[in-house]
Structure 1
Amino acid sequence: MSATLSTHVLDTAVGRPAAGLAVTHHRHDGTAWVHGGDHTTDDDGRVPRFAVEPGTHRLTFATGAHLGPEAFYPEVTVVFRVTSGHHHVPLLISPFGYSTYRGS
């Protein structure tokens, strides 16, 4: 089975994409988290599709560097399951909250 993953980060406090945000990917191998790669959002706040194996995955977003030292959530970690096909994980951030969902 082949699968792909992408993400898009939007800063709802300012109404713009979160460009230049560091995103770290890990996959759980059944025993431990295995580093899958380091990414940075583009000018549109996106990390384009990249290939992954089906299973449990984790994206860690370095939100504090974007939102500043007063941000309540300096880091956001999202854990989710990947099956075959494409999976898109949007993240909406602001200094005092965040939201995510399975996108298309």
Structure 2
Amino acid sequence: MTSRITTHVLDTSTGHPAAGISVSLQVLGDLEWTELGTATTNGDGRVPVLGPQALAAGDYRLEFATGAYFAASDTPSFFPSVAVTFTVADQEHYHVPLLISPFAYSTYRGS
């Protein structure tokens, strides 16, 4: 089973998938963000199921607990979390990968 929103996290400082990162899916309402679901990246750094199967058009956010991930290995880091905000326009699949290191991150729309 795969949801409409999936993600995976790669730790570019080690060259390995980032397992054990807590991820929250949120939707923007009138004035505030509401959490729709949470998950933790698996051993391959992936979250294959996150939130509801059907999503209305609107603005969404994935929030990754990157600080806790780096702290678990005694690695100093700059970002305690990373929030990636994006727009859902239709009912297709949205894959949002995250590349992290202790002092930088990058993201893109995947397939």
Using the size of structure 1 for normalisation, the TM-score is 0.90
1:63 paired residue among 31, 49, 66: 66
CA contact (8 A) 1:5 1:52 kept: no
Q: How many pairs align?
A: 102
Say yes or no: does 1:92 pair with 2:95: no
What runs of 5+ residues in structure 1 fail to find an aligned partner? none
Q: Identity of aligned pairs, percent?
A: 51
SS in 2 for 1:72: coil
Aligned to 1:12: 12
1:55 is matched by which residue type in structure 2? G
Q: RMSD value over aligned CA atoms?
A: 1.5
Kindly state the Cα deviation for residue 33 of structure 1 after the two structures are TM-superposed.
1.2
Using the size of structure 2 for normalisation, the TM-score is 0.85
Kindly state the Cα deviation for residue 52 of structure 1 after the two structures are TM-superposed.
4.3
Aligned to 1:102: 109
CA contact (8 A) 1:22 1:40 kept: yes
Describe the superposition over 1:48-71 as per-residue Cα deviations: whole angstroms up to 9, x where unpaired.
044241311011000011112610
SS in 1 for 2:4: strand
What runs of 5+ residues in structure 2 fail to find an aligned partner? none
Aligned to 1:26: 26
1:96 is matched by which residue type in structure 2? F
